[in-house]
Amino acid sequence: MPELELPERQATDTQMLTGFWYRALPADRVHRNRLHKATLLEIPLVIGRDRLGQPFALRDACPHRGMPLNTGQFDGENLECPYHGWQFDVHNGQCQLIPSLTSDQTLKVDRIYAGSYPCEEQDTFIWVYIPDPGPQGAGFTKPSEAPDGAPRIEKFSAKCKLAYLQAEMPVSIDHGIIGLMDPAHGPFVHQAWWWRSRHSIHEKKKNFEPIPNGFRMSAHTPSSNSAPYKLLRLCADADAITTTIDFVLPNVRTETIRAGKYWFSSLTTVTPITRSHCRIDVVAAWNLFRWLPFGPELLKFVFAKFVEQDRRTMEMQAEGLKHNPHLLLIDDADRPAKWYFQLKAAHLEAKRTGAEMKHPMSGPVTLKWRS
Ligand code: FES
Ligand SMILES: [Fe+2]
């Protein structure tokens, strides 16, 4: 007799992973010689651009007595705290001046640092690297270096369009991520006459494979029952449209759709702002519809609608989550969510022990669900 399958109970831990790049702000909102506030993983940040337009990110708290630095004076190079006028180099946080020191006082000013973070501009966003918390030594901690660059969108031709959109979700990073990769909510949350109705629910079978730090839904032909894909097939005059979807820790989902010489690529992140809030940022690049004047608007409209439907759903979900911290995850529809929790646990375990990360998937898997 087959074993009775019971759903698995899963507790979310709201733990936010350090040692990764995170999207902080859309690049077009960060102006030269101006200071902007942002929060990542509950860390308050002040973000800006120097005189040459290079972005920077500092901890938004003066190492002297905690004054938020975003209220200070910025001359395009150094940031001056509004409380006692200490000045810091915005790119490495090093203290440049302490006005209260007399000429015979020998305090080594340059050994003092305001927290500073590696910062990069990539595909319409300012990214900030959040390192693992170092030994306590506030005020004397030199900036850490990122081991690699911020994630980039894959582009398959030089000419393409790029657009972003974002939505704040009042749920923890875990709920934001599993909501993003959950295949079963589509027919209920994402109904629209031009996309699908709940009656279009049908059985699906998809292949998944392990990739470093994540998993991939192997290249497949997207479901043919939706208008945009029909349109794409018509425009691209290609028999085979294939799409590949990857998820990698800590929070990155990439999707690539290729149809002949046309392609569409997106990099979506769920960013932990606080333990109970996250933000979804979708950045898409494409070379389809470039000849259509309303192409970008059309795509943005479709995406905005999806993201808004997800946001509203999570807003309602947050109400329920206040009372019940446990989840029931079922096979196969919630298997990606299970993998996410397993990957996260394996990552943390590898960090703790210093051993190589043990991937929770041993090989390719086929999942079936109805959606
Ligand atoms: S608090 Fe910033 S200089 Fe004193
Ligand atoms: Fe969704």
* Ligand approaching nearest to the C-alpha of 101: 1
Contacts of residue 134, Cβ cutoff 8 Å, sequence gap at least 6: 141, 144
Crossing angle for the helix pair 335-353 and 173-180, to the nearest 10 degrees: 130
Q: What is the pLDDT of residue 371?
A: 87
Task: Quote the ligand 1 centre to 98 CA distance (angstroms).
Answer: 9
pLDDT digits (tens, 9 = 90+) for 249-303: 999 999 998 888 888 899 999 999 999 999 999 999 888 766 666 666 777 777 8
Of the chain, the end-to-end C-alpha distance in Å amounts to 29
In the structure, what pLDDT confidence band is assigned to residue 2 with cuts at 50, 70 and 90? Answer: very low
Q: In this structure, what DSSP letter does residue 94 have?
A: B
> Does residue 1 register a pLDDT over 60?
no
Best residue for ligand 1 mutational test, from 46, 59, 60, 67 (most atoms within 8 Å of Cβ):
67
Does 64 contact ligand 1 (Cβ within 6 A)? yes
Task: Quote the ligand 1 centre to 81 CA distance (angstroms).
Answer: 6
pLDDT digits (tens, 9 = 90+) for 301-350: 778 888 899 999 999 999 988 887 678 999 999 999 999 999 999 999 99
Does 65 contact ligand 1 (Cβ within 6 A)? yes
Report the nearest-CA residue for atom 4 of ligand 1: 84
What are the structure tokens assigned to 133, written together? 């918390």
Query: Among candidates 327, 363, 331, 360, which has minimal Cα distance to 3?
Result: 331
Instruction: Report yes or no: 127 and 21 within 8 Å, Cβ to Cβ.
Output: yes
Does 88 contact ligand 1 (Cβ within 6 A)? no
Instruction: Report yes or no: 222 and 232 within 8 Å, Cβ to Cβ.
Output: no
Element (H, E) at 168: strand 161-169
> Does residue 221 register a pLDDT over 50?
yes
Element (H, E) at 56: strand 55-59
Instruction: Report yes or no: 146 and 96 within 8 Å, Cβ to Cβ.
Output: no
Instruction: Report yes or no: 259 and 233 within 8 Å, Cβ to Cβ.
Output: yes
Q: What is the pLDDT of residue 300?
A: 77
Task: Read off the pLDDT of each residue in 166-187 and give the average, rounded to a whole number.
Answer: 92
Does 69 contact ligand 1 (Cβ within 6 A)? no
The full set of domains in the chain, from first to last, is 20-130 (2.102.10.10), 161-370 (3.90.380.10)
Percent of all residues in the chain with a pLDDT value above 70, rounded to a whole number: 88
Which of left, alpha, beta for 366 (phi over 0: left; psi -120 to 50: alpha)?
beta
Task: Quote the ligand 2 centre to 192 CA distance (angstroms).
Answer: 13
Separation CA 218–CA 189 (nearest Å)? 24
Does 114 contact ligand 1 (Cβ within 6 A)? no
- Report CA-CA distances (Å) from 345 to 210, 248, 351: 16, 14, 10
Task: Read off the pLDDT of each residue in 98-119 and give the average, rounded to a whole number.
Answer: 95
Contacts of residue 320, Cβ cutoff 8 Å, sequence gap at least 6: none
Q: What is the pLDDT of residue 141?
A: 78
Contacts of residue 174, Cβ cutoff 8 Å, sequence gap at least 6: 12, 13, 14, 340, 341
